[in-house]
Structure formats: C-alpha cells, structure tokens
Amino acid sequence: MNGNLAEAIDLPGRSAPDLSAWAAWLKSQLLEDWRPGEWDGGSWLFTGDLDSDKTVAWPCVIDTCPVIHKARNRRCKSCEDHFRLSGLTEEEFSITYRPSRSRVYRRTLPCIVERDGERCQRELHSKGLCRGHSMRWIKASRAADKRRPFDRTLEEWVRDVAMPLGAWPDCKVAGCPLEQVTLTTGLCRIHYQWWSKHKEVVKVADLGDWIEHTTPYMASHQFSLAPLSDIARLEVLYALQQRDLRTRVMQPSPIRPVIKELAGLDCLLTAKPETFSPVGWLEVSNRISVLRDIAWIIERGHDQFAGVKPTDKLIWDMRAVNGPIGHGPGRTGSGSRSGKVDFTVIKQLWLRDALMEWARSTQPDNNRFRRHLEACVLTSTVLHRQPGGGMDPGQVRYADMALVVEGFRAMTKKDGDLFSSKHRSDCLSMLHNVLDFGRRAGLLNDLHGTFGRHKSLRIIREESNEDEIGKAIPESVIRQLDGRLGGFGIGFPYRGYAEGDIAAMFQAVYRVLRDTGRRPWEVVSLKRDCLEFAGNDICLIWNNYKGKRLKRRLPIARDTADDIQHWAAHRDGLVTPRRSEKYLFPAISDSGKYPHLTSGYLARAMRQWVQSLDRVDSEGTGRDGLPVPFDKNKIFPYAFRHSYAQRHADADVPIDVLKELMDHKSADTTARYYKVSLKRKQEAVKKMRLHVVDRHGNPAPMASNRAYEMRAVAVPFGGCTEPSNVKAGGHACPIRFQCAGCGFYRPDPSYLAAIEDHIRDLKADKETALAMGTDEYVTRNLQDQIDSFKKVAANMHEQIKALPENEREELMESVKVLRKSRAAKGRMMLPLTVIRPGESSA
C-alpha cells in the first residue's frame, strides 16, 4: 500500500493519537460547499450529477431505461442482452424497445384515488391503488353478503367510495425516497425486507443502530458513508474530498466496495495495514486505487494534524512533498509519482543532513533532486567501504575524495555499460554542489578542507553526440507515414477533448516536427503567436531550451505555416485550460505541471499510432524481392529532427547553413550528419565501381573509389574518362555528349534509369526529325544512339540478374544512395535562420 497507517502512529517519540482531537481536526478540514447538488451531508449520501463531466456515470442510452451505467454511450447489461437477441439495428432497437422492470426502488406515481380535486398521496401498490386502498378494496369485495353479489366495479368503488389518504412519512433510512409501510419499524417495503433478513442472522439486533448504518438502495452513480463509524465517516469523506481536488473526477462505482471493506472499523488511522490490501482485489482495479489513495491521504492528513512535515522524516513520500521536488498535490491522477526516497541509505549523518537541507532550501525539480541523491548515495557507498566508514567529517581527506572520483568514473547503468562521460561528470558536480551548500550553511564546518573540488580530480567530458546522429527516419518511411496520418491520435485518451480534436492536434504536431526539425519539447511548447511574416518570408518563433537561447527564428515553407494556421483556427473553437491560453497545443487539464501538451503524451500517442499500422516498409528488399519491414521502434518524435538534418546534409546544404538551421552550438555536431552522408556514399561507390561497363556493355570495373568519383560527376548518363572533359567538370565534351559512341564512356547500374529515360527522349527526337523531313544521316545518328544505349542497358540488366540474390540487393541499395546523392545537387538551398543583430548563434 502507499502508506502504512500503523507506522504513522507507532513512530518513536509519537504517542497514541487523540481520536477526539483527530475527529475535530478532520471536521475543520472538510469542504462545506463540496459538490453542491451531489453530496448530501445530512444523509451521508452522494448522488452523481449525470450531466456533469466531473462525475463518471451516465444513463443507459435507451431513453426509457432507468439504469445508470459507468461508461458513456453504452447500454446496460439487460438492454445489451435484449439487443443481441433482437436482431434489430441499433436505431430500430432504441426506438422500439421498452424495458420492463420488475422491481422499483424509487418513489412511484401516487394512487389513482381522487375526490374533489384531491388525490391520494400514497405510492402505487396494485391495480393503480396504494397499499391501503388495495386492502380496503379487497376487504369490501369479500365482506359483501354472499346472497347479494358485490355490485360495484373497481372503477365505481374508486369513484364513489374510496377517499384520498394522506402520505406516509419517508423511510427512516437516511436518503431513502420510499414511504414507510410499517409504523412499528418506520421502514419502507425494501428496507423492511432487509431488516427481516438481518434479524434472522443477528438474533439480538438493534433497529436504531441498523437504521443509522444502512444505506438506501443505490444506483451506479451513488455511494453512502452510512455503514462507517462516526470517525471513519469523517476520515473517508476528508480523503475523498482531497482526492477530488487532485483528480477533478468522481467515480462512485468503485467507492461502494471500498466503503463495504472499511465498514466495521472504529478508526482508519488505527487500522491494521492488511486492511488496505484486501485479499482477492486486483492490483490494477479502480477499487484498490481508491482504497490506497484513502490510506495515503489519511496518513498525510495525520502528519499535518501532528505538525510533521513530509521533509522532516528520513523517508520522504514524494507524493506528499510540495513544490518542484515531488510536484505535490497539483499533479493529476491518483497514482502520480508515488515513490519514496529513503535517506537512510546514506550512512554518514553529515552528508545526509547536508543533502536533506539542500533539497529543503533549494527546492530543485524532481529530476535534479534524484541525480543529486544518486551522487550522494554513491559517495556514501565508497566512503562506507573505508576504515571508519567516513562517519567523522574531520577524518575524510584528499585520498577519500580521490576514491570517490574513481567511483564516479566507474558508474555503470543497469546493463553494466558505463554512463556517458557527461552524466558521470555532472554527478560529480552535483556532489560538489551539496558539499558547497553544506559549507555555506554551516552544516559542514567540521568537514576537512581537502574533501572537495580539485583540478586533478575531475572527469573529462568526451565530445558529446548531441543528437545521436544516424537515427534519421528514411524519407520513404516518412512518405508512408504521411499517407496514413489520418489515424494519428484516433483512440488516444486525452481527457476533456473529443476524438476528432485530439487527432487534429497530434497530426498538426507531426507536421511541425517533420517540417521544422525542432526537438519535441520545442514543438509542444510553441506559442499561439509563433509565426512571423515579412513579405513572402515566414519564420517560426521557437525557444531552444537545451541551448538556453530563446525566441529563435526559423524560415519555414508556406505549407508548414498553413498547417499551423489551420490548427490554430481549429484550436480557437475548443474549450481549453485557462493556463494553456498562450500555447498552440493545450494541456490536458489545469492541474498538471506544464501548461501545454507534453512530449511524454506525444511519444505515447505516436507509439500507439505507429504500432497500429499494419506495415511500414524500409527502402531495402528481401530475398523474395519484397520490401523489408521497417523497425517501428525507430519511429519516435526526436527521430524527425535527425531526418530533417540528414535531409539537408544529403542535399549538400553548406555546413554553416545547416548549423544555423539546427541551432547547434558547435559545427562539429552538424558535421556528423555530413559524415553519415559521406559514409553511405562511399559504401555505395565501393560496390558500384565493380559494376562499371564500357560503351558496348562489357565489364570495365574501376580500380578505386577515387577513380569512380572523378568520372561519376562528368556526364548525365554515366562516367567519363576523357581527360579534358573530366578536368572541365563534364562541361567540355568534344563530341557534344553523344556518349553511346565514345570510347571514354563508362556507365554503371546507378545510371540505368537515366539511360532509359534518354532512350525514350531519343525516340521522340527521331519521330520529330522524320516528321520534319530531315536528311537521312540525322535520323540514322539518332537510331544508332538508341541501339547503342539499348545494348548497354540490356547488358547491365543481364549482369545484375546473374548476381547472387544478396549481392543484387546490396547493389540496388547502392543504386538508391547514389541516385539520391546526384539528385540532391540540383536542389535549392534552404534559407538561413534569421539571427538578430548582435546575437550570437553559438
């Protein structure tokens, strides 16, 4: 369970609780105006408002059915069973079906007896009559003289004889709407049956006590605290109110079994721990979540009652710690951040006290706090192994710090691999932060001066690979995702928004990720006024939180700006949390940590969408000639940043331009994308140079990659080894690019597509020449070129077909790389990121 209430009252130095003072404190904390219209404090009964989005209960979709369901737009079980047997469509069934209810647990229409405009106020019982009139009718009909038949019909008796009766008092059970049927017990017909069964089980039963702790008959949208003891009622009500402040949603159905489980306890504060871990309850069920939340809230409440702060303990409950460390009660969800931090693992009291006071004073965010804790735990472990265990701060010296630094240098992950040098260096810095704070605060006056920072005791950071180069999503995969983008966000839970609105938001985020290459957090935190127009130029205004450079400007295409404006117009029609007003992509609620969509929600939504796709193909083909499936786990929000950068590197965008577009601090990081691009090209050239042919289609392999590349740039239909043309970069062909008749022509399979296109162009030119009536030598020349190029292409196709399957697959992959590389050289350069005057881009 989340909290152990028995431990809460058995801590050393803490006396047994004063239950009367505890009850008084609970009463003072209760919210008087809690859930008006739903909570009835007089009867301890909660009746959910079916029209409220804050209450999880809805009526059955069959209009004439009175059953309350715990799911929206659903039929109750009885109606669902009848629907399956009916053979009707949903629309036909909804119109024609009329459920019959054999039991009625609410006040019905009054008796039909009426006289002089006054109607009987008692409930219907039989034949339109209340119980009293029904008995009178039966008695009247039986009392007639057998020699003289009873000469009145029921209608005549009601009209001429029966007199209206006054209403009976309501049932004595709090919250029950039915009238009493017995004056001796004061119970309605339902509770009288329950009382009779109870007396059979409990021979000596107290009617008054039974009435006080009995609930009315309840539907799915109700629960009652009546079964609980006086103190337990206050405890559970306090817990439910506090829980409601966090979750903003009340689900009555799982609360009822929880109350049943707690019935019979005098006080939850003094209950045994096993009370809150019932046997047979599933860990994932809503009811176990409610029960544990109640236990946790009561434990926290008792700490507050006793004046004990969560940070006064040696074990911190992170759900109870207010502020950035634990994100406290402001977080949504009943299970948010329920972990505990045990400071007793730090053996040295001086180090433990310094860390705890540092956390109390600086209020770091949760991640920073955890990493400082990690650094101090490692330090404590290293010192504990030494003679004396590092318990005396005056005895730890330079040698001990050297051992601690060696411990940081050897930090490993769970899988045994070393942490990055940056992570290890940061952890060492965090230890020094705690030590420096302790010295300034006067907590470590006895700590020896040599146990601290030293230039010789540091961890050198290796060159960081900021963006994990090489994880780019291939363009062919992105095209497949674009084609199935309509499913992104469908079925993803984002409370408070319609499914169509959720899908529209996530699809807009996807387009911005794909087109701008910004980090996920930079995209989800975009402001509503993130577009800047200057003539025909459009810039995206964004914040580089990682580099701590704000209000950056990135030139974007008109299509991307249109996508953003389209979503912004859609967003204007939504009801969003007030604190999300300034942001393009709103948060899920007003109570979370961030005022906008988070990258965590984005990652989960994308994972759900991608995994739902039946197939995503990679660029390569398998042995069967079919595309190889792409690993869906490689599709995640950050990967689109890699794709953006790799796309520009492959297009030979100058490195200084791409550095500004990516807003990298160092050009070395940007250069890695070009290295990836160069490596792929070199691997492709290495394979392709072995398949070069001459103008007749005979093999003419190149001796090296360098020789291939010198000729690969010369002409559009293959390589050229003619010295003057190579020297001129392919612009000085002596025979005007009639490559098919040149002995220096060296094509390869990567030019097959271009050769085949050229053959079609030559055929078209020949037909035009014939139509123009040109001389025969012109058409003959064109036909000779066609025949020569056809021969080259046919020979290359035969050679490719003759290759083993695995070599053929590798060759075709190289063809794709080289064709993309050559195509990229003709693309337009993208514009630079706009930098404000005087602003450094570093």
Q: What confidence score (pLDDT) does residue 697 get? A: 66
Among 812, 215, 835, 316, which residue's Cα sits nearest to residue 551?
A: 835
Q: Which among 417, 440, 463 is the end of a domain?
A: 440
Who wins on pLDDT, 349 or 170? 349
**pLDDT tens for each residue of 566-583:** 999 999 998 888 889 999
251 pLDDT more than 50? yes
Q: Which range has the worst mean pLDDT, 336-350, 472-486, 547-561?
A: 336-350
Instruction: Judge if 44 and 81 occupy the same domain.
Output: no
77 CB burial (10 A radius; 0-12, 13-18, 19+): exposed
**Range with the poorest average pLDDT among 213-227, 678-692, 810-824:** 678-692
User: Is residue 343 within 8 Å of 313, Cβ to Cβ?
Assistant: no
Q: How confident is the model at residue 331 (pLDDT cuts 50, 70, 90)?
A: very low
Task: Using pLDDT thresholds of 50, 70 and 90, give the confidence band for residue 410.
Answer: very high
Residues 45 and 77 in one domain: no
What would the mean pLDDT of 214-222 be, rounded to a whole number?
A: 89
Segment 579-598, tens digit of pLDDT:
899 999 999 877 677 899 99
What confidence tier does 516 reach under pLDDT thresholds 50, 70, 90?
very high
Higher pLDDT, 175 or 837: 175
The mean pLDDT of the chain is 82
**pLDDT at position 337:** 42
- Expressed as residue numbers, the domain containing 818 is 685-824
Does 625 lie in the same domain as 554? yes
Q: pLDDT class for 805, splitting at 50, 70, 90?
A: confident
Count the neighbouring beta carbons within 10 Å of the beta carbon of residue 502: 21
Does pLDDT of 97 surpass 50?
A: yes
H or E segment and range at residue 19: helix 19-29
Residues 38 and 62 in one domain: no
Residues 82, 40 within the same domain: no
pLDDT at 141 over 70: yes
488 confidence band (pLDDT: 50, 70, 90): very high
Strand partners, 746: 719
Instruction: Tell me the pLDDT tens digit for each residue of 38-67.
Output: 999 999 999 999 888 889 888 888 888 888
Q: Which residue has the higher pLDDT, 283 or 122?
A: 122
pLDDT of residue 703: 60
Task: Please indicate, yes or no, if residue 243 is contained in any of the structural domains.
Answer: yes
pTM of the complete model: 0.53
Contact indicator for 522, 545 with CB cutoff of 8 Å: yes
Predicted confidence (pLDDT) at residue 25 exceeds the cutoff of 90? yes
- Of residues 795 and 704, more confidence is placed in 795
Token pair, residue 136, equals 């009178």
Query: How is residue 315 annotated by DSSP?
Result: E
**Residue given tokens 């310094």 in the structure block:** 354
Within-domain flag for 210: no
Residue 457 in domain: no
Asked whether residue 575 is assigned to any structural domain, the reply reads yes
pLDDT of residue 833: 35
In this structure, is residue 456 part of a structural domain?
A: no
* Any domain includes 487: yes
Could you tell me if residue 676 is inside a domain? no
In a shared domain, residues 358 and 269: no
In angstroms, the Cα distances linking 151 to 115, 133, 161, 388 are 21, 18, 13, 110
Residues 128 and 88 in one domain: no
Per the CB < 8 A criterion, the answer to whether 379 and 457 are in contact is no
Look at the chain and report how many structural domains it folds into: 6
Q: How confident is the model at residue 817 (pLDDT cuts 50, 70, 90)?
A: low
Nearest to 119 by CA among 179, 173, 162: 162
Give the pLDDT score at 543.
Answer: 93
Question: What does the pLDDT average to over 268-276?
Answer: 85
Q: Residue range 681-700: average pLDDT?
A: 64
- Indicate whether 483 and 595 sit together in one domain: yes
Whether residues 747 and 804 share a domain: the answer is: yes
Q: Are residues 631 and 485 located together in one domain of the fold?
A: yes
Q: In the structure encoding, which two tokens stand for residue 616, read together?
A: 């995503």
pLDDT at 802: 76
Q: How many CB atoms lie within 10 A of CB 73?
A: 8
* CATH number for 570: 1.10.443
Res. 682 pLDDT band, cuts 50 70 90 = low
Helices (H) and strands (E) in the chain, counts: 28, 16
Q: What percent of the chain has pLDDT over 70?
A: 83
pLDDT level of residue 829 (50, 70, 90 thresholds): very low
State whether 632 and 763 are in the same domain.
no
Whether pLDDT at 334 is above 50: no
User: What are the tokens at 338?
Assistant: 């329920």
Q: Are residues 345 and 426 in the same domain?
A: yes
CB 522 within 8 A of CB 542: yes
Check residue 233 and give its pLDDT. 94
Q: Is residue 199 part of a domain?
A: no
